[in-house]
Amino acid sequence: MQKITIAIDGFSSCGKSTLAKALAQKLGYHYIDTGAMYRAVTWFAYQNGFIKEDGSMDGEAIVAALPVIDIRFAINAETHNSDVYLNDVNVEHEIRSMLVSKLVSKVSTIKEVRHKMVALQRTMGGKKGVVLDGRDIGTHVFPKAELKLFMTADYDIRAKRRLDEYSSKGQYFSLEEVLHSLKERDHEDLTRKENPLIKADDAVILDNSELNREEQLEFVLKLISDLQFISRQEQSHH
């Protein structure tokens, strides 16, 4: 079976990572959580005082620090998930905080940050057999990906999912706080100058407001099966 590149874009808290991980596991592919890479840069910037909790940011300092920011993924022996390492330190827990969620869009707007992350992502995913999720994978990082998905869901459902995620990690917020954070994030993702969040023309929309994890996985595996069938048909005609 020929390996392909699967690009999953969409709004925050639509279950992109959950689906991407499940697909990677099922297909024996590598999973690259591109959002986690931007979160790692944000955590670095916060730790070094380049971005404050109120969102004020020294963009020049962040750009100047890019050469010393090293990001990689490694499989966690206990969870079997791909954890993010920032300069050889596992920051998986830190980057999933509400604080980083609030600040990451600001850091993501910096052109030089995006250039570095995109270059890393292309290197990591260059050999196919990868599932990447993010905001600009199908439009910018891998515009020639064989399968592109654009995920969306109702606001209230997304907020509830994010709230559950925080609660499971011992972080407690009100539904209103999470909803406000999501709406801010969407606005910044959609309106930033550098590679904003848009649906690729050839992306399949997956609204998972009413779908469980198994149904989503089945839906995408069927798309892949159809793609491979078409590919075999085309090859047999040549």
213 and 19 Cβ atoms separated by less than 8 Å: yes
The pair of structure tokens assigned to 95 is: 């980057």
CATH of 5-225, one of 2.160.10.10, 3.40.50.300, 3.40.50.2300, 1.20.140.10: 3.40.50.300
* Helix locations, 66-129, DSSP H: 98-108, 111-124
pLDDT at 31: 92
- Between CA 237 and CA 216 the distance in angstroms is 32
pLDDT at 171: 83
Count the neighbouring beta carbons within 10 Å of the beta carbon of residue 137.
31
pLDDT at 231: 66
- Between CA 120 and CA 142 the distance in angstroms is 12
Residue type, 54: D
- Between CA 57 and CA 106 the distance in angstroms is 8
User: What Cα–Cα distance (Å) separates residue 70 from each residue in 30, 87, 180?
Assistant: 19, 5, 32
Residue type, 14: C
Count the neighbouring beta carbons within 10 Å of the beta carbon of residue 152.
15
60, 29, 62: which is closest to 43 by C-alpha? 62
CA 130 to chain centre: 13
- Between CA 206 and CA 101 the distance in angstroms is 23
CA 199 to chain centre: 14
The pair of structure tokens assigned to 132 is: 């990447």
Please, which residues have CB within 8 angstroms of residue 3's CB and are 6 or more apart in sequence?
A: 29, 128, 129
Q: What pTM value is reported for the model? A: 0.84
Tell me the pLDDT tens digit for each residue of 58-76: 999 999 999 999 999 988 8
The alpha carbon dihedral of 214, 215, 221, 225 has a sign of positive
The pair of structure tokens assigned to 236 is: 């047999």
Low-confidence ranges of the chain (pLDDT < 70): 1, 229-231, 233-238
8 and 151 Cβ atoms separated by less than 8 Å: yes
